[in-house]
């Protein structure tokens, strides 16, 4: 079966006056490249999410192409919506919906569902962004894609907390290796702007994937899975890097307000996702890229 994508707009969405006020979050996102909502989900919801993603991880790690390395002892895995029991709760959460609509417009596209998991021994990553900056961002200062992140654990200092260099999502980057890795001579600027994040279970962050960031060393024996929901403005083009699938019955049971945004293939039987978005420069840790 083909790719499912409706042309309907806003049908079934909450009236504008009932949506949460996100103007301060949008302002923070445009200023810093990241914002967050604390306590968006219950701890019980997150515990089930963690179970689902770790089950998917142990399945994917055994298949060729089922996971991609993002540095030593750190892997990324993409999953289908049906593999996450709370998928519908996630994509209909009022704050997430409102952020997508305000930043990306009413025709936003849900293109990616996955998770990043560092384990004990994960090393510091080089400073990087997740993909090259488009002209809309480095010329027009428009955000055309969002990454929502949900931690599966309460993050502590020994769990390799995510470090993000605030305000760097507007950096051009066209002269960087792969247009994603600033040279080492530029690292002091990112270190000066860098902030480590310590989210709790239930918190949701929303960031531009262009904001320069890195994972940090992870000596803890406790893994730190982080769910990733990737959302595009129309035309951003990142759906070509991902391949979420749904079965006909699952797709038919989704509310229209979800189907109109979900970019996916409707298939009779789910097939394992072969990862397409491999960030080569992360494989060797912070010695792997970054120039001289």
Domain ranges for the chain: 22-266
Mean pLDDT of 156-185: 96
pLDDT value, residue 14: 43
* pLDDT at residue 139 tops 70: yes
Give 36-90 pLDDT, tens digit per residue.
999 999 999 999 999 999 999 988 888 877 777 777 889 899 999 999 999 999 9
pLDDT value, residue 72: 84
Higher pLDDT, 218 or 3: 218
Residue 147's DSSP bridge partners are 207, 230
Give 194-240 pLDDT, tens digit per residue.
999 999 999 999 999 999 999 999 999 999 999 999 999 999 988 88
Sheet strands (E) in 93-177: 109-118, 145-151, 163-165
Closest among 44, 113, 124 to 83, alpha carbons compared = 113
* pLDDT at residue 16 tops 50: no
pLDDT value, residue 18: 62
Higher pLDDT, 75 or 161: 161
Two structure tokens written together for 64: 């060729």
* Residue ranges in 112-267 assigned as alpha helix (H): 135-138, 187-193, 248-253, 256-259
CA angle 257, 237, 171 (to 5 degrees): 115
* pLDDT at residue 5 tops 60: no
Confidence tier at 291 by pLDDT (50, 70, 90)? very low
- pTM of the predicted model as reported, rounded to 2 decimal places: 0.89
pLDDT value, residue 280: 53
Percentage of residues in the chain with pLDDT exceeding 90? 77
The separation between CA 168 and the C-alpha centre of its own chain, rounded to angstroms, equals: 17
Confidence tier at 278 by pLDDT (50, 70, 90)? low
* pLDDT at residue 15 tops 90: no
Q: How far is CA 189 from CA 88, 139, 186, 193, 273, in A?
A: 40, 21, 6, 6, 37
CATH entry 3.90.79.10 includes domain 22-266: no
Least confident of 134-138, 212-216, 239-243: 239-243
Sheet strands (E) in the chain: 3-4, 34-37, 68-69, 74-78, 109-118, 145-151, 163-165, 194-196, 204-207, 213-214, 226-232, 245-246, 264-266
Closest among 117, 119, 113, 122 to 57, alpha carbons compared = 117
* pLDDT at residue 11 tops 70: no
Our CA dihedral for 86, 196, 178, 146, rounded to 10 degrees, sits at 40
Least confident of 11-25, 79-93, 211-225, 257-271: 11-25
Confidence tier at 17 by pLDDT (50, 70, 90)? very low
Give 88-119 pLDDT, tens digit per residue.
999 999 999 999 999 999 999 999 999 999 99
């Amino acid at each position: 079966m083909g790719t499912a994508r409706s042309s309907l707009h806003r049908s079934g969405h909450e009236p504008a006056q009932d949506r949460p006020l996100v103007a301060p979050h949008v302002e923070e996102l445009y200023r810093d490249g990241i914002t967050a909502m604390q306590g968006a989900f219950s701890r019980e919801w997150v515990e089930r999410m963690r179970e689902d993603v770790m089950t998917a991880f142990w399945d994917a790690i055994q298949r060729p192409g089922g996971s991609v390395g993002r540095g030593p002892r750190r892997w990324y895995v993409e999953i289908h919506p049906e593999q996450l029991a709370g998928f519908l709760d996630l994509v209909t959460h009022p704050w997430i919906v409102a952020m997508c609509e305000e930043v990306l417009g009413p025709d936003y596209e849900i293109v990616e569902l996955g998770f990043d998991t560092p384990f004990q021994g994960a090393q510091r990553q080089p400073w990087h962004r997740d993909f090259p900056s488009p002209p809309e961002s480095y010329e027009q200062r428009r955000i055309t894609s969002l990454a929502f992140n949900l931690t599966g654990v309460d993050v502590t200092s020994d769990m390799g907390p995510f470090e993000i260099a605030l305000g760097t999502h507007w950096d051009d980057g066209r002269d960087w290796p792969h247009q994603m890795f600033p040279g080492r001579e530029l690292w002091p600027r990112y270190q000066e702007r860098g902030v480590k994040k310590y989210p709790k279970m239930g918190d949701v962050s929303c960031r531009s994937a262009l904001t320069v960031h890195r994972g940090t060393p992870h000596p803890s024996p406790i893994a730190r899975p982080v769910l990733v929901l990737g959302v595009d403005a129309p035309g951003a083009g990142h759906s070509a890097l991902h391949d979420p699938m749904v079965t006909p019955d699952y797709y038919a049971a989704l509310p229209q307000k979800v189907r109109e945004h979900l970019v996916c293939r409707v298939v009779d039987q789910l097939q394992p996702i072969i990862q397409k978005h491999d960030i080569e420069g992360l494989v060797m840790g912070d010695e792997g890229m970054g120039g001289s």
